[in-house]
Amino acid sequence: MAEQTFDLIVVGGGPGGYVAAIRAAQLKMSVALVERAELGGICLNWGCIPTKALLRASEINHTLHTLDAYGFAADNIRFDFAKVVKRSRAVAGQLSGGVKHLLKKNKITVFDGHAKLAGAGKLTVTKDGKPVADLAAKHIILATGARARVIPGIEPDGKLIWSYREAMVPTAMPKSLIVIGSGAIGAEFASFYRNMGAEVTLVEVMDRILPVEDAEISAFVQKAFEKQGMKILVNAKVQGVRKEGDALTAIIETAKGVTEIKADRLISAVGIVGNVEDLGLEGTKVEVERTHVKIDAMGRTGEPGVYAIGDLTGAPWLAHKASHEGVMTVEAIAGLHPHAMDALNIPGCTYCRPQVASVGLTEAAAKTAGHEVRVGRFPFIGNGKAIAMGEPEGFVKTVFDAKTGELLGAHMVGPEVTEMIQGYAIARTLETTEADLMHTVFPHPTVSEAMHESVLDAYGRVIHI
């Protein structure tokens, strides 16, 4: 078959790949995108978006069971779990179709298949073992993402042991559930199923849940989860699973000894591995370390003309990081000299109940880095809008360099904090100091006022607590 030539080929149509392709098209490049599964990638189809649809349903279920606090009453509250799942899939489908439209609008040629490097500037595309196309380009961006890490002996079987995929499309609501791993994915699934009525046990090998978050945030979320009736085991490791008909028993090693917990289902959420297999990296100068491709500040690999972005390149494993890398790498290819990305300016969000959001250094990390710090805190119980909403639990924590006033980090737990963290992300990007934040007028009444008060608290000027 005749070889087709483009200025740029992007391998992978997730939030890194399709955004890179669109930005390249805006810069007048001829662009091809190769995707072997669904446009939008894991995030849109099996991650970020459909999980938020599920979590929204669980929030509604929680609200319906707390109506009395708002002066309402309802009888026979129930839900159709199949419809809950169906809506989640419909949301994902709608957005995947939107990505297809955007690619067409930007005149990007899309190939359905698996891409593999085949020499300098060359790619082959196959589908089910059959050739689809031979492609060539001076620049190739690898954006193949990652997949769930599998624990030997606890492999997902699609029935009793679930990965995130099975957890999003169950055929029935389990009465009891064990979740291994308390990062963002594990915490969100634990929160969803608990709020839908399942008995949930959350198992974490580290000494606290949400271990990448500030220690105070982790402690607050653990207490909130336990108050909701969730059982949490930290410093714990699942040694194995014994399947028993339509249920299972997890053998868990804890500081107090080995315990066994029976449940209907188990979700494994213990991290990810990069999709580096069968990409034709052998014989190239592309370096792979612990399943992730090594890159420089502009996404370049060791192989001339080959770049990598997103989850394929390692932490933080976030869709917005992948999208930003895609734009940055394309602009570098185009000679526009973009700024290198600072990972500490990338906000992280966890959409459990209560929500968690953060950017920059934790207090402990700031001290370890040698900073003398000033720390501010403000609880939502002192915020009028949060009280009016009936969600006064949680707080905002800010960490500043005591000498320069630099905002080193911000950490939030409570109502809609995932919608507010961008304020602190902007502040860090603009290298804002405490004085700038203090002189910013926050609207009243809003939950965001707690952000202002936390800054004031760091400097002994807090008003409302």
What digits encode the pLDDT tens for the residues 242-281? Answer: 999 999 999 999 988 999 999 999 999 998 999 999 999 9
How many Å apart are CA 260 and CA 252, to the nearest integer? 6
Report helix, strand or coil for 77.
Answer: coil
**Residue 49: both structure tokens together:** 């978006």
Residue 302 C-beta-side C-alpha neighbours within 13 Å: 11
Cα dihedral 64, 69, 72, 78, rounded to 10, equals: 20
Q: What pLDDT, on a 0 to 100 scale, did the predictor assign at position 155?
A: 93
Is 311 labelled as part of a ligand binding site? yes
Q: What pLDDT, on a 0 to 100 scale, did the predictor assign at position 43?
A: 87
Q: What pLDDT, on a 0 to 100 scale, did the predictor assign at position 281?
A: 96
Q: Could you please state the CATH topology (level 3) that the domain comprising 161-270 is classified under.
A: FAD/NAD(P)-binding domain (3.50.50)
- As a whole number, the mean pLDDT across the chain is 96
Is 296 labelled as part of a ligand binding site? no
Q: What pLDDT, on a 0 to 100 scale, did the predictor assign at position 2?
A: 87
Q: Quick one: average pLDDT of 27-49?
A: 93
SS3 for the chain is: CCEEEEEEEEECCCCCHHHHHHHHHHCCCCEEEEECCCCCHHHHHHCHHHHHHHHHHHHHHHHHCCHHHHCCCCCCCCCCHHHHHHHHHHHHHHHHHHHHHHHHHCCCEEEECEEEECCCCEEEEEECCEEEEEEEEEEEEECCCEEECCCCCCCCCCCCEECHHHHHCCCCCCCEEEEECCCHHHHHHHHHHHHCCCEEEEECCCCCCCCCCCHHHHHHHHHHHHHCCCEEECCCEEEEEEEECCEEEEEEEECCEEEEEEECEEEECCCEEECCCCCCCCCCCCCEECCEECCCCCCECCCCCEEECHHHHCCCCCHHHHHHHHHHHHHHHCCCCCCCCCHHHCCEEECCCCEEEEEECCHHHHHHCCCCEEEEEEEHHHCHHHHHHCCCCCEEEEEEECCCCEEEEEEEEECCHHHHHHHHHHHHHCCCEHHHHHHCCCCCCCCCHHHHHHHHHHCCCCCCC
Is 181 labelled as part of a ligand binding site? yes
Is 188 labelled as part of a ligand binding site? yes
Task: Tell me: pLDDT of 1 over 90.
Answer: no
Domain ranges in the chain?
3-147+273-343, 161-270, 354-458
Q: What pLDDT, on a 0 to 100 scale, did the predictor assign at position 67?
A: 96
Is 3 labelled as part of a ligand binding site? no
Q: Which of 170-174, 328-332, 407-411, 457-461 comes out lowest in average pLDDT?
A: 170-174
Is 282 labelled as part of a ligand binding site? no
Is 204 labelled as part of a ligand binding site? yes
Closest by CA position to 29, among listed 284, 279, 332, 340: 332
In percent, the amount of the chain with pLDDT more than 70 equals: 100
Task: Give domain 3-147+273-343's CATH architecture.
Answer: 3-Layer(bba) Sandwich (3.50)
Orientation of helix 48-64 relative to helix 184-195, angle to 10°? 30
377 close to 395: Cβ distance less than 8 angstroms = yes
Is 257 labelled as part of a ligand binding site? no
Q: What pLDDT, on a 0 to 100 scale, did the predictor assign at position 355?
A: 98
3 close to 134: Cβ distance less than 8 angstroms = yes
How many Å apart are CA 123 and CA 113, to the nearest integer? 12
β-pair type (292-293, 265-268): unpaired
**Where are the strands (E) in 61-216, listed by range?**
109-112, 114-117, 122-127, 130-142, 146-148, 161-162, 176-180, 199-203
Is 96 labelled as part of a ligand binding site? no
What DSSP letter does each residue of 146-181 carry, written as one string?
EEE---TT----SSSEE-HHHHHS-SS--SEEEEE-
If 0-12 CB within 10 Å is exposed, 13-18 middle and 19+ buried, where does residue 219 land?
A: middle
Which residues does the annotation mark as catalytic? Answer: 444
Task: Tell me: pLDDT of 382 over 90.
Answer: yes
Q: What pLDDT, on a 0 to 100 scale, did the predictor assign at position 283?
A: 87
Q: Quick one: average pLDDT of 375-395?
A: 97
Same fold across 3-147+273-343 and 161-270: yes
366 close to 374: Cβ distance less than 8 angstroms = no
β-pair type (130-142, 306-308): parallel
Is 184 labelled as part of a ligand binding site? yes
Question: Hey, what CATH class is 354-458 in?
Answer: alpha beta
How many Å apart are CA 420 and CA 291, to the nearest integer? 34
Residues in CB range of 412: below 8 A, 6 or more apart: 217, 355, 356, 357, 358, 394, 395, 396, 397, 420, 421, 451
Q: Which residues pair with 136 in a beta bridge?
A: 5, 122
Residues in CB range of 75: below 8 A, 6 or more apart: none
Is 271 labelled as part of a ligand binding site? yes
Q: Which residues pair with 240 in a beta bridge?
A: 251
**Residue 61: both structure tokens together:** 């279920």
Is 303 labelled as part of a ligand binding site? no
**Residue 18: both structure tokens together:** 């399709």
